[in-house]
Amino acid sequence: MAKNVLITGAASGMGLLLSQCYAREGANVAMADVNEEGLRACAEEIRGYPANVLELALDVRKYDEVERACGRVAEAFGGIDILINCAGGAECRILGVSGEFQNIPVEVFDYGIDLNLKGVIYFDHAVMKHMARQKSGVIIHLGSITGLEGCPDSVAYSASKSALMFGMTKSIALAGAKYNVRCVAIAPGPVLTRPGMANMKTMAGRAADPQEIVDLIMFAAGDKGRFINGTYILADGGRNVMLNKT
């Protein structure tokens, strides 16, 4: 039976690659992104695979849009089996802001928290309603090595990723336990979704190919990962070990 998969941030990066991989496997794929034009083009390409594809142009920071979109997915596919929260990014990079922490307008950090943390809470909340009814499901959070390292250039991003990897993933796993809903966070190190990532040092001597992280996400979300719950998996090429060695 085909899985019903909802992916945020699906018009680029790992969200797009996940959409393509699930579509190749014949899953029903709901692609959510704020970039409506890019989303339409990506969804059209994926329709060449043996899959049903649903486009959801929305802003993850707006709960009414999130809730409506989740309802559309459940109605179109008959349920939601997997939610993968890929939408997000470093607020200062996205907004083109630079400078020392104390000189950055606080509205920039509001944006970062809304995008990287509240957007995930919104999707988890809306999707859990459907997963609780069907008494099954998997929710994936996309963490980051930055959630362990900290980052003075995008404080809200780092704080959000820490929250997702620790308290949020544990809390959603506890909330979903009686409904057979798992929650797992995948925390990548540098990934070649942007050229700048290649400059981040790892023990492996390179950044990850996006497919390596996507494969891990799909494993954790699939039947072979069904004993993984309430925790995060770090896939960073040894960066955290290298930076914290004594």
Q: What share of the chain is helix, strand, coil (3-state, %, to 5)?
A: 50, 15, 30
Count Cβ atoms below 10 Å from residue 159 Cβ, excluding itself: 19
Q: No. of H helices and E strands in the chain? A: 11, 7
Nearest Cα to Cα of residue 72 among 28, 132, 30, 35: 30
Sheet with 137-142: strands ordered across: 53-57, 28-33, 4-8, 82-85, 137-142, 181-188, 231-235
Would residue 179 show up in a list of annotated catalytic residues for this protein?
no
Q: Which of 49, 122, 157, 232 is catalytic?
A: 157
Nearest Cα to Cα of residue 5 among 65, 69, 61, 80: 80
Which residue spans within 60-193 are E strands per DSSP? 82-85, 137-142, 181-188
Chain-centre distance for alpha carbon 56: 16
DSSP code of residue 207: P
Place of tokens 């979903």: 176
Token pair for 39: 């989303």
How buried is 96 (Cβ within 10 angstroms: 0-12 exposed, 13-18 middle, 19+ buried)? exposed
- Any idea which residues carry the catalytic annotation? 157
